[in-house]
Amino acid sequence: MSKAMSINADGVWAIYRSEMARTARTILQSVAMPVITTALYFVVFGGAIGSRIQRVEDVSYGAFIVPGLIMLSLLTQSISNASIGIYFPKFTGTIFEVLSAPLSYIEVVIAYVGAAATKSVAIGLIILATATLFVPVHILHPLWMAAFLALTSVAFSLFGFIVGIWARSFEQLAIFPALVVTPLTFLGGAFYSIDMLPPFWRTVSLFNPVVYLVSGFRWSFYGSGDVSVVGSLAFTAVFIAACLVILWRMFQTGYRLKP
């Protein structure tokens, strides 16, 4: 393999290991928060709403919301982990060491996004394990479930990386997870089927990108979703491609990375 095509595996691993070590220092918070949040959702949604809505699409309501709960945490954690990962070197001034290291832009993205996606997948699996303590969960297509879990984590870690480069303050880092992603997830069929909505609002919901992520992920559990699996995969692929193009342009121009 030529030098131009080779990957600096040691450099990628160094950044990846550093990011994972940072997570290990807050392991209690990283694990405890998703578990507590999941338990609260089951108490509120599973107990209050579940007593009124027994089944959705031939699945008990408690089991029906499990994919939505996982997706909610997956999206917010992916964005937060990746954005903080690249923003912190900018905040401390060490970003210049990263940019001057013998690493290509692709290798930098692989390291930071890979670490963020790894954390998100781990949290998703923790939430899944927690959910099984409350309701029986059956995964009809486990390989597809793992694929959607990984693809969604990578997609929104890439998006979070873009947010981290764009942000000028810690307050701006919280804008997208809190004010954009969370509302879109709640309105994207995480806790209900959009088929339950009136025709007009169901049509409006189809313009919500989170619908396609939740639907595809729920299909891997129960074999049914609000939109086709092909549509879910197509959206994820287009989203990843768009993020890669934006990142390529950011690094090419040095947007908010170089003075």
More confident residue, 229 or 49: 229
Question: Is residue 2, in this structure, part of any structural domain at all?
Answer: no
pLDDT, averaged across the chain: 88
pLDDT score for 239 = 95
pLDDT score for 156 = 95
Q: Is the pLDDT of residue 20 over 80?
A: yes
Question: Is residue 71, in this structure, part of any structural domain at all?
Answer: yes
pLDDT score for 48 = 67
pLDDT class of 50 with cuts at 50, 70, 90: low
Residue 60 host element (H or E): strand 59-60
Count of CB atoms within 10 A of residue 155's CB? 25
Q: Is the pLDDT of residue 38 over 80?
A: no
pLDDT class of 2 with cuts at 50, 70, 90: very low
pLDDT score for 25 = 77
pTM recorded for the entire structure? 0.90
Are 78 and 118 in contact by the 8 Å Cβ rule? The answer is no
Question: Is residue 1, in this structure, part of any structural domain at all?
Answer: no
Q: Is the pLDDT of residue 45 over 90?
A: no
The total number of structural domains that make up the chain:
1
pLDDT class of 1 with cuts at 50, 70, 90: very low
Tell me the average pLDDT across 74-94.
Answer: 90
Question: Is residue 206, in this structure, part of any structural domain at all?
Answer: yes
Which domain, by its residues, includes 196? 7-253
Report the Cα 29 to chain-centroid distance in Å: 18
* Residue 254 φ/ψ region, left for φ over 0, alpha for ψ in the -120 to 50 degree band, beta for the rest: left
Question: Is residue 188, in this structure, part of any structural domain at all?
Answer: yes
| Sequential DSSP letters for 163-193 | HHHH-SSHHHHTHIIIIIIHHHHHTTTSSS-
More confident residue, 244 or 98: 244
pLDDT score for 117 = 96
Report the b/e string of 2-12 with b at 16+ CB within 10 A: eeeeeebeebb
pLDDT score for 6 = 76
pLDDT score for 197 = 87
Dist. CA 38–CA 146, nearest whole Å: 20
Tell me the average pLDDT across 199-211.
Answer: 90
Tens of pLDDT, residue by residue over 117-172, are 999 999 999 889 888 888 888 899 999 999 999 999 999 999 999 999 999 998 88
